[in-house]
Amino acid sequence: MKSFLKYREIWLLAGIVVLIGLISTRFPGFADPANLRQVFNDTSILMILALGQMVVILTRSIDLSMASNLCFTGMVVAMLNAAHPAIPIPVLIVIALLVGLMLGAINGFLVWRLNIPSIVVTLGTLTIYRGATFVVSGGAWVNADQMSPAFINFQRAAFLGLPVLSWIAIIVIALFFLVMTRTAIGRSIYAIGVNPTASVYAGIDVGRTKFIVFCISGMIGGLAGYLWISRYVIASVEVANGYELNIIAACVIGGISIAGGIGSVGGAVLGALFLGIISNALPVINISPFWQMAISGSAIILAVVLNARGERRQGRIILRKAEAA
């Protein structure tokens, strides 16, 4: 039982259940299955983005440009759809993935080959990609009446009681779980976060692996670009402005260590779900926007404190074993 309870995801899941229970005392319908399905659907894009950010953070890096990638890619596919509505939606999604991959590869190349800290690279590309969105669009918006019905309705279609958007999130979660737990690249990502120097001696190409994780985060940003624009049916330079903070917050709350090497797919998903529940519930029970931000910020600070304490505790245990030996 003790070994079961030491997992951060168990406590986070318990916290989500308690949070839903507290909200239900003010808004009884919140815990209804239909409403919880809607909350999951509303949080799907954040979950997908948090997984892309997770693989970057696990390697002791960070990608601050994901929201700008989303904005640029979303504008590109929205303009393509407006100009050529006959393009099939799967083709547009592939284009979004490729554009996102290109933007992520730029970040990865600068981090890998020029050895520039990721926070510096992505802070720069954050602005560059959003500026490129303005250049591509000429500052104009793409509105719902310019988008084809297929573009807008694809993710709204239901399958087995869930919208396609929710199924896309479930598929992405499953893919990330398989990659992180069953593949060599997943093991390499964790190894680099734990000890980059030892990873080199183990035969892992640290630079190339970091390039790959930035490509992954770029593709995720590209996918989210289509999903965001078709969901909110507006493409502009201001789309997802500042949303990178929500993405990082979801990872931190989910137990992804900023120091790298610690975290899980389940944690990132639960962290995003925690934020999604707050953003969906607090306005309904008439909590002011200030307190909404304060509660979210407090959750982030508490998560950082818990992460730091957990990492220090692990370090002390290791030292004790070494002394005993």
pLDDT tens for each residue of 155-192: 888 888 889 999 999 999 999 999 999 999 999 999 99
Residue 315 pLDDT: 42
What does the pLDDT read at residue 174?
97
Please indicate, yes or no, if residue 101 is contained in any of the structural domains.
yes
Model confidence at 308, pLDDT cuts 50, 70, 90, reads: low
**Of 212, 199, 78, nearest to 141 (Cα)?**
78
Instruction: Judge whether 132 and 102 are in contact, CB under 8 Å.
Output: no
pLDDT score, position 155: 85
71: Cβ contacts below 8 Å, ≥ 6 apart:
129, 130, 133, 225, 237, 239, 240, 241
Say how many domains are in the chain.
1
pLDDT at residue 78 above 90?
yes
d(CA 148, CA 80): 11
In this prediction the pTM is 0.90
Q: For position 292, what pLDDT does the model report?
A: 66
CA distances from 71 to 102, 137, 282 (A): 14, 11, 27
Q: Which of 223, 118, 207 is nearest to 171 (CA)?
A: 223
Is the pLDDT reported for residue 312 higher than 60?
Answer: no
In angstroms, the CA 116 to CA 214 distance is: 13
Please tell me the distance from the alpha carbon of residue 196 to that of residue 210, in angstroms, as a whole number: 11
Show the tokens assigned to 237.
Answer: 């330079």
- Print the domain residue range for 153: 42-247
97: pLDDT strictly greater than 80? yes
In-domain check, residue 98: yes
Residue 49, domain member (yes or no): yes
More confident residue, 214 or 161: 214
How high is the pLDDT of residue 261?
Answer: 86
- pLDDT (0 to 100) of residue 316: 37
What pLDDT is attached to residue 311? Answer: 58
Distance CA 105, CA 111 (A): 10
283 located within any domain: no
Per-residue confidence (pLDDT) for residue 160, from 0 to 100: 83
Q: Which helix (H) or strand (E) holds 250?
A: helix 244-253
Q: What are phi and psi of 85, to 5 degrees?
A: -65, -15
Dist. CA 72–CA 136, nearest whole Å: 8
φ/ψ of residue 142, rounded to 5 = -110, 115
Report the chain's mean pLDDT, rounded to a whole number: 87
Token pair, residue 255, equals: 């137990």
CB 232 within 8 A of CB 141: no
For residue 102, the tally of other CB atoms under 10 A from its CB is 16
- Cα-based angle 263, 264, 267 (whole degrees, multiple of 5): 95
Range with top average pLDDT, 12-21, 89-98, 136-145: 89-98
pLDDT value at position 4?
A: 42
- Provide the greatest CA pair distance for the chain: 71
Q: How confident is the model at residue 321 (pLDDT cuts 50, 70, 90)?
A: very low
Helix axes 66-83, 206-232, angle to 10 degrees: 50
Token digits for 21?
């229970």
In a domain, 117, yes or no: yes
pLDDT category, 324, cuts 50, 70, 90? very low
pLDDT of residue 318: 34
Residue 217 CA to residue 252 CA, distance in Å, equals 16
24 occurs within a structural domain: no
Residues 11-68 have pLDDT tens digits of: 888 888 888 888 888 877 888 888 889 999 999 999 999 999 999 999 999 999 999 9
Residue 161, in any domain of the structure: yes
- Within a domain: residue 54? yes
Bigger pLDDT: 312 vs 290: 290
> Looking at 145-149, 191-195, 214-218, 318-322, which range is the least confident one?
318-322
